[in-house]
Amino acid sequence: MKHLASTTAMAVLLAGVANAGGHLAFAPGEGDFNWDSYNSFAEQYDLSGQSLSITGPWTGQDKDLVDSVIAYFEEATGAEVEYSGSDSFESDFVIAAEAGNPPQMAVFPQPGLMADMARQGNLVALPDGTGDWLRENYAAGESWVSLGTVDDTMYGFPYKIDVKSLVWYVPEAFEEAGYEVPETLEALKELTDQIVADGGTPWCIGLGSGAATGWPATDWVEDMMLRTQPPETYDAWVANELPFDSPEVVNAIEEFGYFARNDDYVSGGAEAVASTDFRDSPGGLFEVPPQCYMHKQATFIPTFFPEGTELGLDVDFFYFPAYEGEDLGQPVLGAGTLFVRTEESDVTAAFLDFLQTPIAHELWMAQSGFLTPYTEVNPDVFPTDTQRALNEILTNATTFRFDGSDLMPGEIGAGAFWTGMVDYVTGEDAEAVGAAIQERWEAIQ
């Protein structure tokens, strides 16, 4: 559910130039694109007569956009590429793999599924040197290598990323109250207290989401883990090598509780957190006077802002900051997709080479809904300042970690973790909640 929200609504946040896929969206040589990277790539390959099949989760406008990027690969190499998108991509791929007829490449939104498919022998490793390339060219490069690696072998190439470590606010409300955007978590807590002292309410928080109620709290806890513990500890927790009721995880839950379980800090009081629908929760930002001043949520949330809201003017965002005193850099929580391949061939190797050119990123950047940690791309091609600023958060990251609950077994990450967070915000002790989730995890092993 979290993945669907962040991918389908991203285009609303980052609207740019729509393109019906299949032909070149930009004439080679025009604009601020890195055409040198395209020309250099084209000179290396002649794949005339070869074909490439790719499947993934991108449908609708996203399919048009990836087709618009693929068109340049076809133009450069002479190869013919067929991308097929599906809302049931995951199950479709598993069925095709089990039947021995998978597409040559696939786009996985779930690293866990990639790992399962790799361990079952359905994927082949990326070309030698891919990991070194990511370390040199992606911000927080080691994080991306780790994300795409299974049992010391690299299978996944990260492409098209979403950011979750964001706080939304109304600049006019901040300006009228004399508030400044905080750059550390210490300063964010000080601002929270200052707003209360001034008679306001700092936060709007809502965990309601039908059968998925509780999931927004998991993002809070994951961000807090990255701001209080080294990334290796986060990884151990996600892999259940560090139990849910360990002091480190309990502390992260209580860090979330600092904001969510204080009646003075939350619009409607702490009791309203669990029952307020996450789609309705940012509404208080836009009331006059404000019912709250800040709302933590990922890139998709503007879908639920009032109609006509102009990003960058009526509402803006800032990076959910890290503790200065913890010296953990600038960690970013997010999600995204990984290209994998099921066969080792000239055409799959060439496509992976294409993904390592700036142009393969810039073409989608210039249209709609695309963020990348690739530091060599030209940010001037972004169609909006909002998208450019979002991408800066990604390229300034010292650590990137994928949404932890999406990496956990479904019964935990999309079950016990959700319900446990509801129990916590409604009064249950953090250690007891962690112990209950851990007990459930051990029961399914």
Residue 411 has φ and ψ, to the nearest 5°, of: -65, -20
Residue 18: predicted pLDDT: 39
How many domains is the chain partitioned into structurally?
A: 2
Residue 391's nearest CA partner among 402, 378, 401 is: 378
d(CA 156, CA 344): 14
Residue 13: predicted pLDDT: 44
Residue 173: predicted pLDDT: 98
Domain extent at residue 273? 166-331+409-444
Q: In terms of domains, do 159 and 51 share one? A: yes
Q: Is the torsion defined by CA of 72, 76, 82, 87 positive or negative?
A: negative
Residues 191 and 182: beta-carbon distance below 8 Å: yes
Ranges of H-type helices in 202-322: 215-228, 231-238, 247-260, 272-275
Q: In terms of domains, do 358 and 225 share one? A: no
Q: In terms of domains, do 327 and 338 share one? A: no
Q: How far is CA 17 from CA 29, 138, 436, in A?
A: 18, 25, 48
Residue 368: predicted pLDDT: 84
Residues 426 and 352: beta-carbon distance below 8 Å: no
Q: In terms of domains, do 20 and 158 share one? A: yes
Q: In terms of domains, do 247 and 366 share one? A: no
Domain end residue (candidates: 402, 417, 433): 402
Q: In terms of domains, do 232 and 325 share one? A: yes
d(CA 365, CA 283): 29
d(CA 382, CA 388): 6
Query: How is 258-293 classified by DSSP, letter by letter?
Result: HHHT-TTTBTT-TTHHHHSBTTTGGGGGGSSS-S-S
- Helices 346-355/35-44 angle, 10° precision: 170
Q: Which helix (H) or strand (E) holds 108?
A: strand 105-108
Q: In terms of domains, do 321 and 204 share one? A: yes
Residues linked to residue 80 through DSSP beta bridges, in sequence order: 51
d(CA 232, CA 234): 5
pTM, two decimal places:
0.92
Q: In terms of domains, do 25 and 147 share one? A: yes
d(CA 338, CA 307): 33
Residue 341's nearest CA partner among 95, 128, 127, 132 is: 127
Map tokens 């962690």 to a residue. Answer: 434
Residue 282's nearest CA partner among 300, 273, 294, 271 is: 294
**DSSP-based helix, strand, coil % in the chain, nearest 5:** 50, 15, 40
Q: In terms of domains, do 177 and 316 share one? A: yes
* Single-letter amino acid, residue 58: W
Q: In terms of domains, do 293 and 359 share one? A: no
Alpha-carbon 10 to chain mean position: 10
The CATH number of the domain holding residue 214 is: 3.40.190.10
Tokens of 425: 């915000």
What is residue 38's three-state secondary structure?
helix
d(CA 57, CA 107): 7
Q: How far is CA 397 from CA 139, 162, 216, 301, 384, in A?
A: 6, 13, 22, 21, 21
Map tokens 């006019």 to a residue. Answer: 172
Residue 361: predicted pLDDT: 98
Q: In terms of domains, do 210 and 338 share one? A: no
Cis peptide bond upstream of 289, omega within 30: yes
Give the pLDDT of the chain (445 residues) as one tens digit per residue. Answer: 454 444 434 444 444 443 334 479 999 999 999 999 999 999 999 999 999 999 999 999 999 999 999 999 999 999 999 999 999 998 999 999 999 999 999 999 999 999 999 999 999 999 999 999 999 999 999 999 999 999 999 999 999 999 999 999 999 999 999 999 999 999 999 999 999 999 999 999 999 999 999 999 999 999 999 999 999 999 999 999 999 999 999 999 999 999 999 999 999 999 999 999 999 999 999 999 999 999 999 999 999 999 999 999 999 999 999 999 999 999 999 999 999 999 999 999 999 999 999 999 999 999 988 999 999 999 999 999 999 999 999 999 999 999 999 999 999 999 999 999 999 999 999 999 999 999 999 999 8
d(CA 344, CA 321): 42
d(CA 315, CA 105): 39
Q: In terms of domains, do 351 and 217 share one? A: no
Residue 22: predicted pLDDT: 46
